[in-house]
Structure 1
Amino acid sequence: MLAALAVFLAVLPGLAQEAATITPELEAQMVALEDITRQLRELDGEPVERAFPTREETIAYLRETIDQQLPLDEADRYRDFYVALGLLEPAIDLRDVYLSLLSAQVAGFYDTDTQVMNVLPAQGELASELSLLEQIIYVHEYTHALQDQFFGLEQYLDDEEVVKHPDRALAAVALVEGDASAVMNVFAQEVITRNPLAVFQILGQGLQAGNLFLPPGTPPVLSREFFF
């Protein structure tokens, strides 16, 4: 039932925002990360437009997107399905739970409509260089950009035979996200191999960003599906 939710978490449509100020040092760092990602993924792709929305901008946009992609009547059908299986309480507002889940977890996303990759600044503002956590997220999102350039993400994820079958939709998203996560994990492992203490930086930055844990009270069935 989280298939549609997972799809737009992986690749969200466009988010309007003001352009961030990119210092020469930050530009050089991002170019280097893109080179590393191309090597790890073995795809010689092109540069991509970047954006750095605030968490507040992203949450507001997530709310709008959920309203559009998960209408109230459809959310009620999903809720009734879970309730019938004894997995959710009847009074739960499924759209609010989804928004809470996404708001807590989203750290970046790729826009298939405009081919823009978005990375949320972990501390709320874009600094002169990316933190280690932001670098890992950057590699993940740039992998999505490479996937789109070479394989056409929107065509793949929006295929009628995928969209109308929840299991196929989850499988499609698992492939897209698994690929990006594998590249991201290799990058992180290489960083930690060179500097074992980097793992504490990643954990500390994740705690500060507030996206290491699911919101309290998240129903177990949704937690499991969220991390399918």
Structure 2
Amino acid sequence: MRQRTPEIVAVTVLALLVVLFAVFGSGGSGGDSGGGETVSPERLARVERRVEQLRGLRFKRPVSVTVMTPAEVEAYGVRDEQASESRERVEAGEELMKLLGLLAPDVDMDAVTASIYGEQVAGFYDPRTERLALVEGVGIDDVTLAHELTHALEDQHFDLQRLGGTGESSDSGTSSDDDRSSGESGLVEGSATAVMLRYLQRYPGALTFGDALDQLGAASGSTPLPPYIMSSLLFPYEQGEQFVEALLARGGWSTVNTALRSRPPLTTADLYEPSRWFARTRPASLSLPAGDAAGPGWRLLERSTLGEFDLRAVLAEAIGARAAATLSGGWQGGRYALWRQGPLPAPDCAAPCMQRDAFTLRLRFDSPAAAGAVAAAFGSWLAAEHDARRAAAAELAPRRAVDSAARGAPASGAVATATRWTLAGGTAAVTSADGADVTLTLAPTPALAARLSR
């Protein structure tokens, strides 16, 4: 589930890297960390020239710089959130994250968003206004400034605003491709982080060990972020940089330019495994129940993709991060739909409201064995996250089993296997069919779970 934020965690990533550089003797002892001062035109020009040399591109026009107070940044963040997504979609995202156990039930995402924008921003580049925004009273070092200026430079050449969008609205709910958006963000942030690290290597005095420790403390803010939110914010910087390094190793910056210009990653799986990008591997096309499949009184809130990053996050709590990464490595495609009965939020039913939510997730893996392992892991997840109890449910997916046989599917996929789980306020169904497909469904009743599993 994509998090819309400006440049809020580059300082955290940078500080961690610089601490490592300093510990192992690569950090400098001096440099221009900026303090709390506004970036001077001379300093900006110097960092711009260095970024041009490292990136192999020239600025087409000067970069506009604006200074904002922390309060203005927070207000900007709230306006950006409201302008980019409807209130219902924001609330649907929060409901879904809580339903999947990615957020604790008592987390207030409005407060989290305010914390992100109000406490943890040092500066950011906005491709819509083509401005570099700096926060008054918050120093920005040359290395982080190089990161932001890389965004500005690449925006002038490749139009970054077209990358990382969340999707488009449909008549029957919101349809989007969040996993693709996260993959695109990984390319953009990964490229800027790669330049940032090269800047640090070329000009080690641009940030000192003390600066790094100070920034690492400041970046955490006074309000700790939920683990999933923090990991989703760090992901495009960390994994995106590894993806870009793989592109650089094969074809240099011209290959990165190709990706930015016309071939961005299609999934977060591409970031984990760059060979998918080189092979032009596309995610599997998966069907979902129709928008009105839940029946009268239900409305479709959201349709989107769920990729390898989010699958790892969902499974990690139940089976551990390493096992989750191994199982998720077989991901070939994933889509989900979320329906709601009644208002969202509901004053009489706290999130996640199992009595009024219906959710279907359909995934495809690279082998029946991988699909079976993930289906079993979903059982562990249901038991851990929802205190679910297993119940017999052979009748849950007869239509998918018949459809598989009618299409001449292999014997391993000809008979659907389904398990029903009972949990507080609802029912869960885990269905394995068509060989390498797995469907997870959560609904208030067994009948609705069966219908949405087909």
> What TM-score do you get using the length of structure 2 for normalisation?
0.40
Distance of 1:197 and 1:88 partners within structure 2: 35
- The one-letter amino acid paired with 1:136 is V
Task: Flag the 1:183–1:67 CA change in 2: closer, same or farther, 3 A.
Answer: same
User: Structure 2 CA distance, aligned partners of 1:66 and 1:120?
Assistant: 19
Which amino acid in structure 1 is aligned with residue 178 of structure 2? Answer: P
CA distance in 1, matches of 2:178, 2:75: 26
* CA drift at 1:214: 5.2
Name which of structure 1's ranges 35-44 and 76-85 shifts more when overlaid on structure 2: 76-85
Aligned to 1:15: none
> Quick one: distance in 2 between partners of 1:30 and 1:197?
15
Letter in 1 for 2:69: T
Q: 1:198 maps to what in 2?
A: 208
Seen in structure 2, the aligned counterparts of structure 1 residues 159 and 106 have a Cα distance that, compared at 3 Å, is: same
Unpaired runs of 5+ in structure 1? 12-20, 125-130
Is the contact between residue 147 and residue 192 of structure 2 (CA under 8 Å) also seen in structure 1? yes
Shift of residue 143 of structure 1?
Answer: 0.6
How far does residue 33 in structure 1 lie from its aligned partner after superposition? 0.8
Post-superposition shift, 1:158?
4.1
Please, which of 49, 71, 75 is the counterpart of residue 90 of structure 2?
75
Cα-to-partner distance string for 1:129-187 (whole Å, 9 max, x where unaligned): xx6x43222211111111111111112344958x9200000011111111111111221
Alignment correspondent of 2:158: 151
Question: Aligned pair 1:2/2:16, yes or no?
Answer: no
- The question of whether the paired residues in 1 share the 8 Å contact of 2:94 and 2:109 is answered with yes
Q: Can you list the C-alpha shifts for 1:170-224, whole angstroms capped at 9, x where unaligned?
A: 01111111111111122123332xx4982223323x267x22x255443222222
Alignment map for 1:8-157 (pairs within 5 Å): 9-10=6-7, 26-46=40-60, 47-121=62-136, 123-124=137-138, 133-157=140-164
**Which has the larger helix fraction?**
1
Output the CA distance in 2 between the equivalents of 1:160 and 1:80.
19
> In the alignment, is the contact (CA less than 8 A) between 1:62 and 1:99 conserved in 2?
yes
Q: Aligned partner of 2:203: which letter? A: V
Which shifted more, 72-81 or 178-187? 72-81
Quick one: distance in 2 between partners of 1:50 and 1:197?
Answer: 21
In structure 2, the partner of 1:164 is 176
Provide the rounded CA distance (Å) in 1 between the counterparts of 2:64 and 2:80: 22
Change over 3 Å in CA distance of 1:30–1:207 after alignment to 2: same
Please tell me the residue identity of whatever aligns with 1:87.
Answer: L
Higher RCO, 1 vs 2 (CA within 8 Å, ≥6 residues apart): 1
Q: 1:4-32, CA deviations, whole angstroms, 9 ceiling, x for partnerless residues?
A: x14xx259xxxxxxxxx989xx2212111
User: If each structure's strand is expressed as a fraction of its own residues, which one has the higher value?
Assistant: 2
* Contiguous gaps of at least 5 residues in structure 2: 9-36, 169-174, 236-454
Aligned pairs, how many?
200
8 Å CA contact retained: 2:7, 2:121? no
- Paired AA for residue 182 in structure 2: L
Q: Which amino acid aligns with 1:175?
A: L
Q: Give the distance between the partners of 2:212 and 2:38, measured in 1 at CA.
A: 23
What is the CA–CA distance in structure 1 between the aligned matches of 2:206 and 2:143, rounded to whole Å? 15
Q: 1:197 and 1:150 mapped to 2: Cα distance? A: 28
Q: Secondary structure at the match of 1:138?
A: helix
Paired residue type of 1:78: G
Q: Are the equivalent residues in 2 in contact too, given 1:110–1:118 (CA < 8 A)? A: yes
1:187 maps to amino acid: Y
Task: Give the AA of the match of 1:226.
Answer: L
